[in-house]
Amino acid sequence: MFEHRVLGVDPGLSRCGIAILDGPGHRATVVDSEVVRTPADMALGGRLHAIHARLRALVTAHRPASMAVERVFINAQARTGTGAMQVVGLVHLLAADADLPVAEYTPSQVKAAVTGVGDADKDQVTFMVQRLLTLDVAPTPADRADAMAVGLCHLQQPGFGRRRRSGGQGRAGDQATTTGMSSRLAEALAAAGPGLTAVDPARPRPTPSKGTGQ
């Protein structure tokens, strides 16, 4: 019997990644995952309806205990970001309709949770998702892997599974390391070799300088 089931979403209007994981985070497994695609020539209302309908069907079928979605920031690709933000709104609406808690995580939080590095690239995220979920093959496309990463990030937050009930530690060998990651993640990083090195989350990251026009 799973201790916690989460529905993770990598929001996107053209491609929306969805993954249902059973926790806790130190031994999470994949229940289901897919990518919902909507064509660019479809009316916006129809695209949002298709994504909402699929999300609702998965909530009904798998009965998650919570939902998690990657936070969207509007940048130079404002059109793409706006569509993804609308999907984030759908996730919150569906969670409210189903009386489920929902959490948002920044891309850096998601990457750090699965790789130990907040600015990891997509290949690193996919590689570590495969290792942490003990998948036979790497999840594709990237939207599926990203949705799994969102779910893993959620399950690794304080307060889930054995870690909460035993006063901050999981089963033997699964307590957090001095760098703030679980020993399972630390072991996976070590096995991956020097191409995936962890950073200390407590170390302050440099603040990007703003141009004079901002």
Per-residue pLDDT, 2 = 57
Rounded distance between C-alpha atoms, residue 134 and residue 56, angstroms: 28
Per-residue pLDDT, 209 = 42
At residue 72, does pLDDT exceed 50?
yes
pLDDT 10s digits, 125-177: 999 999 999 999 999 999 999 999 999 999 998 765 433 333 333 333 333 33
Question: Per the structure, how many domains does the chain have?
Answer: 1
pLDDT 10s digits, 15-25: 999 999 998 87
Mean pLDDT of 171-188: 43
Residue 203, in any domain of the structure = no
CATH at residue 172: 3.30.420.10
Which of the two residues, 174 and 82, has the higher pLDDT score? 82
pLDDT 10s digits, 101-129: 999 999 999 999 999 989 899 999 999 99
Residue 18, in any domain of the structure = yes
Which of the two residues, 203 and 186, has the higher pLDDT score? 186
Residue 58, in any domain of the structure = yes
Residue 202, in any domain of the structure = no
At residue 40, does pLDDT exceed 80?
yes
Binned at pLDDT 50, 70 and 90, residue 73 comes out as confident
Residue 43, in any domain of the structure = yes
Residue 136, in any domain of the structure = yes
**Neighbouring residues of 119: CB distance < 8 A, sequence distance ≥ 6:** 108, 111
Residue 206, in any domain of the structure = no
Per-residue pLDDT, 82 = 86
Residue 98, in any domain of the structure = yes
pLDDT 10s digits, 189-210: 555 444 443 333 333 444 444 4
Per-residue pLDDT, 211 = 45
At residue 187, does pLDDT exceed 70?
no
Catalytically annotated residues: 10, 70, 143
Residues of the domain holding 90: 4-158+168-192
Per-residue pLDDT, 92 = 97
